[in-house]
Structure 1
Amino acid sequence: MNRMALTLVLLTALCFCSAMMVLYSKYLSTRAYMQVSQSQKIIDALDVQWSQLQIEESTFSEHGRVERAARDRLDMTYPALDGTVMIVR
């Protein structure tokens, strides 16, 4: 009977350890999934920001806007006809 009780205790301990490892594995899996979800949210936010920056860049690099900025801020103008020189080969 002593040997049977020892085997029963050993099997119970192994079953308990197995159950604890299943719980720990589930915990690690859940934590990893949360990290992946958080990283995906960050990636989505950065993608939206990148799209907005591309739109902003295309708006600010528009030819008319550059011409207006050169004329208004830098007082640049097109040269008059007498200020231009034509080079002929």
Structure 2
Amino acid sequence: MSLRGVLLALLVLANVASALLLVRDRHEHRQAFIALNRLERARDELNIEYGRLQLEQATWAESTRVDQVARQRLGMLFPRGEDTVVLRR
């Protein structure tokens, strides 16, 4: 084989190797994009759940709810006027 034939064979081989590497990189890119979409969906679902939990926490901590539980379950009452003592210095 002549030098020209060897050079042509090397160029064809380099071209095929380049094409195979391009296909591999495209495949890895698709896989990474699919994983990214999956993680973004999970993040969105977690944000929705976090919002629900914040709303639930606000509901449970509402002053009327706390007052209701204190009265019903614990038997607590607001002190009467005569039970209140004011200390002055």
For the aligned pair, the TM-score class normalised by the smaller chain equals 0.7 to 0.9
| Runs ≥4 residues deviating over 2 A | 1-5, 86-89
Distance (Å, rounded) in 1 between the aligned partners of 2:4 and 2:25: 31
Which residue is equivalent to 2:32?
A: 32
Q: What is the SS of the residue equivalent to 1:77?
A: coil
SS at match of 2:57: helix
TM-score (norm 1): 0.86
- Tell me which residue corresponds to 1:47: 47
Sequence identity (%): 28
> How far is 1:70 from its partner?
0.7
Paired residues for 1:48-67 under 5 Å:
48-67=48-67
Q: In structure 2, the residue corresponding to 1:59 is in which secondary structure? A: helix
Superposition deviation, residue 2 in structure 1: 2.9
Q: Which runs of 5+ in 1 are unaligned?
A: none
Aligned to 1:83: 83
Greater alpha carbon shift after TM alignment, 13-22 vs 28-37:
28-37
How many residue pairs were aligned?
Answer: 89
The gaps in structure 2 that reach 5 residues or longer are none
Aligned equivalents of 2:3, 2:88: Cα separation in 1: 112
Shift of 1:87: 3.4
